[in-house]
A and B are shown apart, each in its own frame.
Chain A
Amino acid sequence: MTSLAGGYGPTQVLYDVSVEVGEGEIVGLLGRNGMGKTTTISTMFGLLAPSSGSISFDGAQIAGHRPFQISRRGLSLVPEGRQVFPLLTVQQNLEATVRASVSGDRRWTVGTVFELFPQLADRRQNLGVHLSGGEQQMLAIGRALVMNPRLLVLDEATEGLAPTVRAAIFAVLRILKEQGQSILIVDAYLQKLLTLTDRNVVIEKGRTVWSGTTEDLIASPGVADRYLGVGV
């Protein structure tokens, strides 16, 4: 997406955000809280309308399209706060979204997600509302995977999770990386995140202020210091 601007009704949050994710690439979307990361993602998925700028996916313009049209092109979302469907069982949460990829591939099914997260398989008949935070996060990831996306977008992949659960989630993300899954990820645990990402985009106050490879980011500690308030 290029020079994206937008926000919530009259409240402009994004001014000039550009993010690019290549095939098979993992890109970190960095920035402090309230800088527009979630707004960027919501706009990408058509949940918010951009006021200007362009979003292209696979060569097609998708800005202004409706969310279901965008997602059917091969984008899937692990939303902030997990947002599993509370009135559906674990199994139904997955069955509700399962679909073949744009190219007809069905690598991820309810079954293969259960292999990836055996803990979920044990709770398949439980309602979403009864899961622990970690299980909800696993389910949210599984729910996005069964859509067999070309681009998986994770907004706050491990927020509020215990360290062991966080490590388990990162282990799964690493498996996805090895399989060549393209991912755009937001996560507060920078050091862990940078072991995963190929490139990173830093946004501040609704503008892209830095983008480059993970090596470059680590090599220029001033960037993290200045925009993220942490050392690398």
Chain B
Amino acid sequence: MQLFVEQTLNGLQLGFTLLMVSAGLTLIFGIMNIINLAHGSLFMVGAFVAADVGGRTGNYAVALLAGTAAAAVVGMFVEFVLIRRLYLRDHLDQVLATFALVLMANEAVQMIWGTRPGGVSTPAFLDRTVTVFPGLPYPAYRLAIIAAGIAAISSLYLLVDRTRIGMWIRAGTTHRELLGAFGVNVRLLYTLVFAIGAGLAGFAGVVASPFLSVESGVGDNFLILSFVVIVVGGIGSLKGAVYGSLLLGLVDTWARTYLPLGFDGFLDASTAATVGASVASASIYVVMIVVLVVKPNGLFGLPDG
């Protein structure tokens, strides 16, 4: 039971980290119709800038702010220089152009920060454990990530659901062209959406970096998982991103814990561990296949047309 609670919390923590990456990805894909492979690079920018600033100042809050802001600013710049030229191009062009960005970003961080990057250390007041369950001490920092994820996504939800900008964003998912005729500066709106998505990815990069080795390409794995999330949740749906992230975060974590244990019953220990881990890494794709068979547009996707 302790193991289950612990792994569930780990799964939620992965889920919320994924959610912060995939929320931006789904907004950008759903609203702007842009496949942005470089979204993971914004995660990386957040992690690297935070590592740099954290290393200099020793202040986690400053590092978090700097990493998030840097990702948002880089996102805005990229949208302005490259992405807005891709809106009317097909997805293949977008994939090629943003993949080029991934390669450039991966090289760029190495040129700036070298191959042996620092890391962000957890802030002192969270560097302890909390007993969440009898006999189960759990790192406070991991709980804080879950809380930060909830806060970030709630803010995004309020922005999209309650504000005028959010109304334009939702109107733009279905009537991109027409929105301009209602006095909305669609280009500026898109730059803003892109910057918000980028900032969230950067934020996720900072908060996740204590568990990761911050190195070139660190966001790429999150990018792939996030694409699975938004396909499962339904492209363009924030609600879908929430359910998709949490579902996949939990499935992935549970599978990595329990499948090796399950195979232990009829295989020798080391084989069970290897086979279990391999099957576990495929688990989210199994979920994706099942979801797509049942609901081809994802859990909360809009029907075609």
Q: Which residues of A does B touch, CB under 8 Å?
A: 45-47, 66-68, 70-72, 76-77, 79, 83, 85-88, 92-93, 95-97, 99, 143, 147
B167 contacts partner chain A, Cβ-Cβ < 8 Å:
yes
CB distance from B270 to the nearest CB of A (A): 52
Stretch from B33-41, B72-80, B91-99, B180-188 that touches the partner: B180-188
Contact A87 B173 (CB under 8 A): yes
Residue of B173, B175, B180 with highest tally of chain A CB at under 10 A: B180
Q: Which of B173, B182, B186, B187 sits near A76, CB closer than 8 Å?
A: B182
CB distance from A80 to the nearest CB of B (A): 10
A88-B167, A95-B167 given as contacts; is B184 within 8 A of A47 (CB)?
no
Q: Contact at B180–A47, with CB atoms within 8 Å?
A: yes
A118–chain B nearest beta-carbon distance, Å? 23
Whether B183 lies near A99 (C-beta < 8 A) is: yes
Q: What 1/0 flags go to B201-222 for Cβ under 8 Å of A?
A: 0000000000000000000000
Across the interface, which residues of A come within 8 angstroms of B187, CB to CB?
66
Interface pair A87/B183, CB less than 8 Å apart: no
The interface residues of chain A lying within 8 Å CB-to-CB of B167 are 85, 88, 92, 95-96
Contacting residue for B175 out of A70, A76, A83, CB 8 A: A83
Interface size class of B (residues with CB under 8 A): 10 to 19
Contacts beyond the supplied A66-B180, A70-B181, A97-B182: 19 A-B pairs with Cβ under 8 Å: A45-B181, A46-B181, A47-B180, A68-B184, A71-B182, A72-B183, A76-B181, A79-B181, A83-B178, A85-B167, A85-B174, A86-B174, A87-B170, A92-B167, A93-B171, A95-B164, A96-B168, A96-B171, A143-B182
Whether B164 pairs with A96 at a CB distance below 8 angstroms is yes
A residues near B170, Cβ cutoff 8 Å: 85, 87-88, 92
* With A85-B170, A87-B170 as contacts: A71 and B164 at CB distance below 8 Å: no
Residue of chain A at shortest CB distance from B168? A96
Check if B178 sits within 8 Å of A147, measured CB to CB: no
Closest to B236 in A: A87
Q: Separation in Å of the A59 CB from the closest CB of chain B?
A: 20
Closest residue of B by beta carbon distance from A91? B167
* B268: interface (CB < 8 Å): no
The complex places the Cα of A223 from the Cα of B67 at a distance, in Å, of: 68
Chain B 25-37 interface mask (CB, 8 Å, partner A; 1/0): 0000000000000
- Assess A67 versus B181: contact at CB under 8 Å? Given A95-B164, A95-B167, A96-B168: yes
Is B177 in the interface zone, CB < 8 Å from A? yes
Partner of B180, one of A67, A85, A93: A67
A77 and B181 within 8 A (CB): yes
List residues of chain B with CB within 8 A of the CB of A66.
180, 185, 187
Chain B residues within an 8 Å CB radius of A72:
183
Query: For residue A99, which residue of chain B has the nearest CB?
Result: B183
How far does the Cβ of B291 sit from chain A's closest Cβ, in whole Å? 22
Could you list which residues of chain B lie within 8 angstroms of chain A, going by C-beta atoms? 164, 167-168, 170-171, 173-175, 177-178, 180-187
What is the count of residue pairs linking A and B with beta-carbon distances less than 8 angstroms?
Answer: 65
Asked whether, in the complex, the Cβ of B180 is within 8 Å of the Cβ of A87, the reply is no
- CB contacts (< 8 Å) of B181 on chain A: these are 45-47, 67-68, 70-71, 76-77, 79
Q: Is the CB of A47 within 8 A of B183?
A: no
How close is A64's CB to chain B, nearest CB, in angstroms?
Answer: 14
Q: B175 — which chain A residues lie within 8 A by C-beta?
A: 83, 85
- Residues of chain B within 8 A (CB-CB) of A93 are 171
Nearest Cβ distance between residue B292 and chain A, in whole angstroms?
23
Q: Which of A70, A79, A88, A99 is close to B178, meaning CB atoms less than 8 Å apart?
A: A79
Report the separation of the CA atoms of residues A189 and B183 in the bound assembly, to the nearest whole angstrom. Answer: 30
A97 touches B180 (CB 8 A): no
Leading 7 A-B pairs by shortest Cβ distance: A67-B180, A96-B167, A85-B171, A71-B183, A87-B170, A97-B182, A45-B181
Closest Cβ of chain A to B170, distance in Å, is: 4
Q: Compute how far the CA of A19 lies from the CA of B167 in the bound complex, rounded to whole angstroms.
A: 34
Residue of B nearest to A48 (CB): B177
Bound form: Cα–Cα A46–B186 in Å: 13
Cross-chain contact B178 with A47 (CB below 8 angstroms): yes
Please measure, in the bound complex, the distance between the C-alpha atom of A97 and the C-alpha atom of B171, giving whole angstroms: 10
Q: Which residues of the partner chain A approach B184 to less than 8 Å between Cβ atoms? A: 68
- Measured in the bound complex, the distance between the Cα atoms of B184 and A98 in whole Å is 11
Partner among A47, A67, A77, A88 whose Cβ is within 8 Å of the Cβ of B171: A88
Q: Which residues of B contact A97 (CB under 8 A)?
A: 182-183
Cα–Cα, bound, A143→B164 (Å): 14
Chain A nearest CB from B11 CB (Å) reads 30
Which residue from chain B places its CB closest to the CB of A98 in the assembled complex?
B164
A/B interface sample: 25 pairs, CB < 8 A: A45-B180, A46-B181, A47-B181, A66-B180, A67-B181, A67-B186, A68-B183, A68-B186, A76-B181, A77-B181, A77-B182, A79-B178, A79-B181, A83-B175, A83-B178, A85-B174, A86-B174, A87-B171, A87-B173, A87-B174, A88-B171, A96-B168, A96-B171, A97-B182, A99-B183
